[in-house]
């Protein structure tokens, strides 16, 4: 039997880490983020949650999943703002991380190096199937990456792609089921070819 000293136990508590939850739209990213954060709160850990100020689809302030689960959060305009709110915090949650600037990677590294558990949720690809914002860089430095999947609305296979169903070439277009649908690779490729044929 191994006995740990009080110092070792305290050090274990202070180990920071980065967890990334990524995938397509409608894959349950925010749902999983909320689940982990609520568990941390239940364990009496001090939790602070952030979301991009531009994301007001369900609520100005709360992080809300497609299933209407919610948790209160602080909307911010830049990743650097996170550091202003995180003294005396054990766990930081960040939703819709793809909308933040590339500085988020360094911010998360700094938080984890200071002993904070950082849980990030975001789209790993945009509607063109390209890496989205800081998510690829966050996956690279993460201690743990969970790729979650939706179900393809065309064939029922696991979906990894967010297909945009409205005409717009802007990378950031906030939307829901009217603007996006989750597709598997095969159905996504077919849909994108159809999109190009219609332009």
* CA angle in degrees (0–180, nearest 5) for 178-146-189: 45
Question: Which one is catalytic: 88, 96, 181, 186?
Answer: 96
Tens of pLDDT along 141-175? 999 999 999 999 999 999 999 999 988 777 666 55
Domain boundaries, the chain: 14-148
Does residue 113 register a pLDDT over 70?
Answer: yes
Task: Look up the pTM and report it.
Answer: 0.83
Contact 76, 50 (CB under 8 A): yes
Q: Is 144 a catalytic residue?
A: no
When pLDDT is averaged across residues 97-118 and rounded to a whole number, the result is 97
Contact 49, 37 (CB under 8 A): yes
Which percentage of the chain shows pLDDT scores above 70? 80
Distance between CA atoms of residues 67 and 156, nearest Å: 20
pLDDT in the model for residue 12: 47
Q: Does the structural domain 14-148 have CATH classification 3.50.50.60? A: no
Could you please report the per-residue DSSP string of 130-149? -B-TTHHHHHHH-SEEEEE-
């Amino acid at each position: 039997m191994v006995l740990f000293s009080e110092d070792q136990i305290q050090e274990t508590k202070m180990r920071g880490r980065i967890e990334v939850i990524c995938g397509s739209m409608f894959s349950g990213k925010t749902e999983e983020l909320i689940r982990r954060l609520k568990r941390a709160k239940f364990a009496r850990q001090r939790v602070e949650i952030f979301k991009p100020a531009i994301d007001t689809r369900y609520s100005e302030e709360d992080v809300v999943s497609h299933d209407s689960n919610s948790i209160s959060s602080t909307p911010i305009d830049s990743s650097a703002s996170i550091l202003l709110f995180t003294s005396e915090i054990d766990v930081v949650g960040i939703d819709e991380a793809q909308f933040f600037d590339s500085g988020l990677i360094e911010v998360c590294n700094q938080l984890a190096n200071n002993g904070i558990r950082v849980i990030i949720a975001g789209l790993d690809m945009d509607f063109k199937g390209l890496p989205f914002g800081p998510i690829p860089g966050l996956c690279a430095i993460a201690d743990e990456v969970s790729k979650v999947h939706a179900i393809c609305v065309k064939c029922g296979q696991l979906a990894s792609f967010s297909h945009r169903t409205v005409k717009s070439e802007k990378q950031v277009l906030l939307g829901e089921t009217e603007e996006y649908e989750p597709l598997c690779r095969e159905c996504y490729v077919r849909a994108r070819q159809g999109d190009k044929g219609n332009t």
